[in-house]
């Protein structure tokens, strides 16, 4: 594993203005995530796990402190540069798959390539390879409405890895799945982490999934605690 950090958080705070007072979500936290590492982020609902993931994914910004990705301070980038970095280097998997019902599984997975300006044939070929990697090579032409819950989540993972991002950010990827299917998704995430060398940060309430990761941290009262 390459030990150069892909993420460094230095004294990062995140606040939200509530109706009557400021809510402190993160309180001057420090965190380092190495390249190729898989990290589970645990914590109660409302502890800031998803907010953290959004900041790592450049979808949100810290109130104060510094977040570095590959040595670049994210808060210094304009919205265009953040979007460019996000589209190039970061893949997202959410609790809900967000697949488009009117398209085939292959077309859904190819969408990031089309958005990135790749040709149709290249996009579909990349999607075919990604679906083979997640065990859905036999479902290419199926409408996503005909897939099982586990298959839809695997398709969402294939879409996330389509452009070979450096980082995979997953928010409760097994939250809507039964235990056995959730375990299969966890094993798939770890296989991809090892085979592709991607850094994985996974927000989860699932102790089995968390146990598969290289490292576990818990968000509690705005601070990180190692597990």
Q: Does any domain span residue 96?
A: yes
Q: Does any domain span residue 4?
A: no
d(CA 165, CA 226): 26
d(CA 160, CA 176): 18
Q: Does any domain span residue 56?
A: no
What CATH number does the domain containing 111 carry? 3.40.50.300
Phi-psi sector, 217: left (phi>0), alpha (psi -120 to 50), beta:
beta
The structural domain count of the chain equals 1
Q: What is the pLDDT of residues 125-165, one digit of tens each?
A: 999 999 998 999 999 999 999 999 889 988 999 999 999 99
d(CA 92, CA 42): 18
Q: Does any domain span residue 116?
A: yes
d(CA 10, CA 68): 8
Q: Does any domain span residue 12?
A: no
For 18, the enclosing helix (H) or strand (E) is none
Q: Does any domain span residue 146?
A: yes
pLDDT over 70 percentage in the chain: 99
Q: Does any domain span residue 202?
A: yes
Q: What is the pLDDT of residues 1-54, one digit of tens each?
A: 445 799 999 999 999 887 888 888 899 999 999 999 999 999 888 888 999 999
Provide the whole-model pTM.
0.89
Q: Is the pLDDT of residue 124 over 90?
A: yes
Q: Which domain holds residue 194?
A: 38-49+78-226
Q: Does any domain span residue 214?
A: yes
């Amino acid at each position: 594993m390459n030990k150069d950090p892909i993420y460094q958080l230095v004294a990062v705070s995140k606040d939200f203005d509530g109706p009557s007072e400021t809510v402190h979500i993160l309180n001057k936290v420090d965190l380092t995530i190495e390249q190729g590492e898989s990290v589970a982020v645990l914590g109660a609902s409302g502890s800031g796990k998803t907010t953290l993931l959004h900041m790592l994914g450049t979808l949100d910004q810290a109130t104060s402190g510094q977040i570095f990705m590959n040595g670049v301070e994210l808060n210094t980038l304009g919205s265009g540069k953040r979007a460019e970095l996000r589209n190039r280097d970061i893949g997202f998997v959410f609790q809900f798959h967000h697949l488009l019902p009117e398209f085939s599984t292959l077309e859904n997975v190819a969408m990031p390539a089309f958005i990135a300006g790749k040709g149709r044939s290249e996009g579909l070929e990349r999607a075919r390879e990604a679906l083979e990697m997640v065990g859905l090579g036999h479902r290419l032409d199926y409408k996503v409405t005909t897939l099982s819950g586990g298959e839809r989540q695997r398709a969402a993972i294939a879409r996330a890895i389509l452009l070979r991002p450096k980082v995979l950010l997953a928010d409760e990827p097994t939250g809507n799945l039964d235990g056995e299917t959730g375990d299969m998704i966890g094993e798939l995430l770890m296989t991809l982490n090892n085979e592709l060398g991607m850094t994985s940060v996974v927000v989860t309430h699932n102790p089995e999934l968390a146990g598969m990761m290289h490292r576990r941290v818990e968000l509690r009262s705005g601070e990180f605690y190692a597990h």
